[in-house]
Structure 1
Amino acid sequence: MKKKILAVTACPTGVAHTYMAAESLAKAAKEKDIPIKVETRGAVGVENEFTEQEIAEAHAIIVAADTDVLESRFAGKPVVKVPVAQAIKNPAGLLEEALSKEAASAGDYLKQVEQSKAQRSASRSGAYKHLMTGVSNMLPLVVAGGLLIALSFIFGIEAFKEKGTFAAALMDIGGGAAFALMVPILAGFIAFSIAEKPGLAPGLVGGMLASQIGAGFLGGIIAGFLAGYVAKLLKDYIKMPKNFEGLKPILIIPLLATGITGLLMIYVIGEPVKAIMDGLTVWLKSLGSTNAVLLGILLGAMMAFDMGGPVNKAAYTFAVGLLASDVYGPMAAVMAAGMTPPLGLWLATLLSPKKFTKEERDAGKAASVLGISFITEGAIPFAAGDPFRVIPSIMAGSALTGALSMLFGATLRAPHGGIFVLPIPNAVGQLALYALAIVAGTVVTAIMLNILKKPVGN
């Protein structure tokens, strides 16, 4: 009987990496005639979710994820755990590694459970994973809120100030509700990633306090980590009689963790972080052209460097967080620079088709669609095949796009959507120049790559 493999894929935004990794694993498994089922945890929710019976019958599980995927389900099973990008780059190797794992026998099941718990505990100590779990759960609110705010501007940039109007209703939904929940959700799910369910309540409350105090997204991040580790500490070290153990998750931990987190946010952390956020906001709003260009270069290069990886997400998180402080320039630079890599690669395949294989030319067509949709991961197939030529080229193009976007004073009120948000009136400031910045970076990427690349076969 053939060994069956299960795999779960998830990336922070739940868009490109999640499904590209699933497709790569499924394709490699089909080529090797390996039975596989892939669960995706993307922006639309959980698809192909495993049943308990499927988990029990699986030989091993591949976890290709940068966010929480409820790994506690796999206790006692051999697990191969990697970042989601690894499943795109080396699916065959992951399948071989999973097949080589020894299945847990009945005799050593308890030992496997303990090892699995230790591995999960170690994985949860990663700050990047906790932060990205918060960001991925916050992102739908930011996208929905930003687009609703942008739609309210169709009726005039200040039409929402007139109470009772449709524009005012859109602003109340987008800004008053969705954006108000942004920081609490960020903090709540950072804490959830660290301490699981006991961390959620103190994280949400800490995030709400950060928002009320004016500590912004930076205060929300601090509140999330604080609440998560306080809740985890209480969960691990508070011991109660067996009959009262059920009170811990519903009374003791929420009460103590929420109280401790809230008091620290009010009396110790909140005001200093507010001062930092106020200073950052003032600095960003008063940037001269030289400093704005330098910031644009940095953000642009970060967006292209790992195409949806940790560096890319750091730049994106920074820009998204500033939306709540009414700073819209970095968001424009980040989205434009994230669109440029796949668009530039598509243009390169058109300008010099002899320097690309048929598969790469076909990938270029798909990259064009991903590029206009602000899915930077469309550049990954090219970068994986020729990193030393592709990555410098896309970084150069994105750095130029980011610099021009900041220089032109472009602004963006919607944190996602690519070209599809550009027609919304007032969603983008300096629209024509913003489009020019994207075109310029696309052209530079294509020209640089075609200079560096040699014709296929050489």
Structure 2
Amino acid sequence: MKFVAITACPTGIAHTYMAAESLEQTAKANGDEIVVETQGSAGSEPLSAEDIASADAVIFAADLAVQGRDRFAGKPIVEAPVKAAINDAAGLFERAKAAAREPVAAAPATPELTSKVGANDKTGTKIRQWLMTGVSYLIPFVAAGGLLIALSFALGGYQIVDAPKVTEHFDAGSVAGWAALMFQIGSAAFDFLVPVLAGFIAFAMADRPAIAPGFVGGAIAVTVSAGFLGGLVAGLLAGGVVLALKKIQVPKAMRGIMPVVVYPLLGSIVVGVLMYVVVGKPIAAATTGLTSWLNSLSGVSALLLGALLGLMMAFDMGGPVNKAAYAFAVGGLTTGATASLQIMAAVMAAGMVPPLALALASTVRKKLFTEAERENGRAAWLLGASFITEGAIPFAAADPFRVIPSIMLGSAVTGSLSMAFGATLRAPHGGIFVVPLIGNPLLFLVALIAGTLVAAGSVIALKQARFRAAERSAVVSGQPVNA
């Protein structure tokens, strides 16, 4: 049979493409054909009309609303979370084949821009998806701005923050001049972080009409020094206000101007008043308190925070808990506080541990892993070095009760050691490739290596115990052992 599929995850980075690869490999193993459109952060090549027309069924493995859904009107459609395609692609194909055998009732095309969550999702799921959508649009600004700022410090030192504006003085013949330029470009990108977060949280809740109120609320959050917490609140307020406005019945003649004029106008007014007059100052006070608390961390409290962040980074390997820890670290970068820079270093180091540990374990004890896992292990070296925690997912999906506790332990060790060593990081991403930009880089690497060894050793020990148990059972039953 022939299928077409779309994969999409909230961040559009790893899960999107891993799901596509899993679907393609499973289709090949089944003797089926599939063409996948990856709606990820790198953009996508749309499915051709010929592929869609000839498909027996459609698979949507997505945690977001599928773009261009109306293209598939009249086709049998199977929908599932993106992780289902990674962990159980065969099950998705069975569902798709069953759907292909059933008649499809005609249905009106779904608009391209819809809410980012299904109408029947639970409240907790909706809130998580709203926040993750904001984070997914935030990441490109974080990466561009953070890496530029880190590069400027590497070229010109920390004093580059006091350089004159490049619009007034720019020396193209000096390294300091280019460092100042990099810093000011990166700072300009960072200025968008809170408005982008708020704007796209609102978009996830109420679609395009909520973008303007969300951006306005986010900009006000910056103005009143409410920071990332203010951006989160502004986004939720903007989305909620626009959703409420949409419920108001208006004459048919006015419906055309509501999304482009009335909803953005009234939403911006309401959110602006609330942020300036009601919630902005309390949130700013909470942000100041949080920053002061982070700066006061030392000794055991810093170690415990590093361990907690490490546990979160490894728990779901790129999922909501991982992204919550990452967003917490990124939010601190805007303050420039030393403790916040230490948190960013701890989070990145801890996020690198799971794929690196499993790559190491599958290399030194090959017989404990399948051929497919050993192949994934070879790729996991680069994924881990690049701070792509999702490289551990294939191992965790195959053996969650041994892999997940092991990598959580290793990441917790790395997070604690990184905080204890005082390693700092201004770049929000980059993995091993931004080590020259890290404060105390050798100790950062010591923390990373220690956690990797702990996690790899734990995985090997647990798998070895299972292997020996299988050997004993085989001796009793007289059956050969399958390593």
Q: Provide the TM-score with structure 1 as the length reference.
A: 0.91
Alpha-carbon distance in 2 for matches of 1:49, 1:113: 17
Task: Report the equivalent of 2:430.
Answer: 417
Q: Secondary structure at the match of 2:6?
A: strand
Task: Report the equivalent of 1:172.
Answer: 184
Task: Report the equivalent of 1:156.
Answer: 157
- Pairwise CA distance, 1:319: 1.1
- Pairwise CA distance, 1:34: 3.0
Alpha-carbon distance in 1 for matches of 2:275, 2:25: 49
Alignment of 1:30-429 (within 5 A): 30-45=28-43, 47-50=44-47, 58-70=55-67, 73=70, 78-101=76-99, 108-110=105-107, 120-123=118-121, 126-153=126-153, 154-163=155-164, 164=169, 165-175=177-187, 177-240=188-251, 242-326=252-336, 327-423=340-436, 427-429=437-439
- Pairwise CA distance, 1:229: 1.9
Alpha-carbon distance in 1 for matches of 2:108, 2:180: 59
How far does the alpha carbon of each residue in 1:2-51 deviate from its partner, in whole angstroms, 9 at most, with x for none?
4x433211223322211110010111122223332211122212x23235
* Percent sequence identity over aligned pairs: 53
Task: Report the equivalent of 2:476.
Answer: none
Alpha-carbon distance in 2 for matches of 1:362, 1:103: 36
How far does the alpha carbon of each residue in 1:69-99 deviate from its partner, in whole angstroms, 9 at most, with x for none?
3375356654433221221000111121122
Between 431-440 and 307-316, the greater mean CA deviation after superposition: 307-316
One-letter amino acid matched to 1:362: E
Alpha-carbon distance in 2 for matches of 1:234, 1:51: 38
Question: In structure 2, do the counterparts of structure 1 residues 347 and 422 end up closer, same or farther at CA, with 3 Å as the change threshold?
Answer: same
Task: Report the equivalent of 2:174.
Answer: none
Alpha-carbon distance in 2 for matches of 1:248, 1:150: 44
One-letter amino acid matched to 1:374: F
Q: Secondary structure at the match of 2:191?
A: helix
Alpha-carbon distance in 2 for matches of 1:59, 1:239: 42
Alpha-carbon distance in 2 for matches of 1:205, 1:102: 46
Alpha-carbon distance in 1 for matches of 2:109, 2:66: 19
- Pairwise CA distance, 1:136: 0.8
Q: Secondary structure at the match of 2:38?
A: strand
Alpha-carbon distance in 1 for matches of 2:240, 2:54: 35
- Pairwise CA distance, 1:61: 3.1
How far does the alpha carbon of each residue in 1:176-210 deviate from its partner, in whole angstroms, 9 at most, with x for none?
x1000011111111111111111111111111111
Q: Secondary structure at the match of 2:39?
A: strand
Would the aligned equivalents of 1:66 and 1:132 in 2 still touch at CA under 8 Å?
Answer: no
Give the greater-gyration-radius structure (CA): 2
Alpha-carbon distance in 1 for matches of 2:33, 2:419: 50
Alpha-carbon distance in 2 for matches of 1:329, 1:37: 44
Question: In structure 2, do the counterparts of structure 1 residues 280 and 449 end up closer, same or farther at CA, with 3 Å as the change threshold?
Answer: same
- Pairwise CA distance, 1:112: 8.9
Between 351-360 and 15-24, the greater mean CA deviation after superposition: 351-360
Question: In structure 2, do the counterparts of structure 1 residues 51 and 277 end up closer, same or farther at CA, with 3 Å as the change threshold?
Answer: farther
Alpha-carbon distance in 1 for matches of 2:56, 2:242: 34
One-letter amino acid matched to 1:158: Q
Would the aligned equivalents of 1:9 and 1:38 in 2 still touch at CA under 8 Å?
Answer: yes
Would the aligned equivalents of 2:35 and 2:51 in 1 still touch at CA under 8 Å?
Answer: no
Alpha-carbon distance in 2 for matches of 1:263, 1:276: 19
Question: In structure 2, do the counterparts of structure 1 residues 361 and 58 end up closer, same or farther at CA, with 3 Å as the change threshold?
Answer: closer
Question: In structure 2, do the counterparts of structure 1 residues 55 and 199 end up closer, same or farther at CA, with 3 Å as the change threshold?
Answer: farther
Question: In structure 2, do the counterparts of structure 1 residues 5 and 357 end up closer, same or farther at CA, with 3 Å as the change threshold?
Answer: closer
Corresponding residue to 2:24 among 23, 26, 29 = 26
Alpha-carbon distance in 1 for matches of 2:375, 2:147: 32
Question: In structure 2, do the counterparts of structure 1 residues 347 and 102 end up closer, same or farther at CA, with 3 Å as the change threshold?
Answer: closer
Would the aligned equivalents of 2:69 and 2:109 in 1 still touch at CA under 8 Å?
Answer: no
Alpha-carbon distance in 2 for matches of 1:448, 1:316: 25
How far does the alpha carbon of each residue in 1:138-178 deviate from its partner, in whole angstroms, 9 at most, with x for none?
10000100010011112122124121332222111101x10
C-alpha RMSD over aligned residues: 2.5
Q: Secondary structure at the match of 2:277?
A: helix
How far does the alpha carbon of each residue in 1:206-227 deviate from its partner, in whole angstroms, 9 at most, with x for none?
1111111111111111111111
One-letter amino acid matched to 1:183: V
Would the aligned equivalents of 2:69 and 2:110 in 1 still touch at CA under 8 Å?
Answer: no
Alpha-carbon distance in 2 for matches of 1:258, 1:104: 47
One-letter amino acid matched to 1:195: A
Q: Provide the TM-score with structure 2 as the length reference.
A: 0.87
Question: Across the two proteins, how many residue pairs are aligned to each other?
Answer: 448
Alpha-carbon distance in 1 for matches of 2:246, 2:66: 21
Task: Report the equivalent of 2:474.
Answer: none
Q: Unaligned stretches of 5+ in structure 1?
A: none
Question: In structure 2, do the counterparts of structure 1 residues 76 and 190 end up closer, same or farther at CA, with 3 Å as the change threshold?
Answer: farther
